[in-house]
Amino acid sequence: MDVKFSKEGNALVVLIEGEIDHHTSSRARERIDSKFLMEPVKNMILDLSRVTFMDSAGIGLILGRMSRVSSVGGKMSIRRPKPEISKILKMSKIESIVELDA
């Protein structure tokens, strides 16, 4: 798995590539949290367009980042998840608390 960063206005864009599972989620969490603290932003966009697999560790990763963003008064959204990832997100009901951009 790889994590790349960019900025869009007041948002940190996090592009995740590959698989998000219990083996990769802790490293991704550390990288994302570190970058979010260093950048002068309060919102986060998780771009999941290149995620090929995600299990419950991915849901935990998303919820933890949402909590961090919310703690500074920011908003989080998920961008372009593939259909199979979108299905997991909908099953977890995460779209009721995080904005999903198709």
| Domains annotated on the chain, with CATH | 2-101 (3.30.750.24)
Q: Residue 14 pLDDT more than 80?
A: yes
pLDDT number for residue 100: 84
State the pTM of this model. 0.92
The length of the chain is 102
- CB-based contact 54:19 (threshold 8 Å): yes
Q: What is the DSSP letter of 96?
A: G
Q: Which amino acid is at 84?
A: E
pLDDT number for residue 102: 64
pLDDT number for residue 75: 95
Q: What is the pLDDT of residues 33-92, one digit of tens each?
A: 999 999 999 999 999 999 999 999 999 999 999 999 999 999 999 999 999 999 999 999
Q: Which two tokens stand for residue 3?
A: 């994590």
- As beta bridge partners, residue 13 has 6, 45
Q: Residue 101 pLDDT more than 90?
A: no
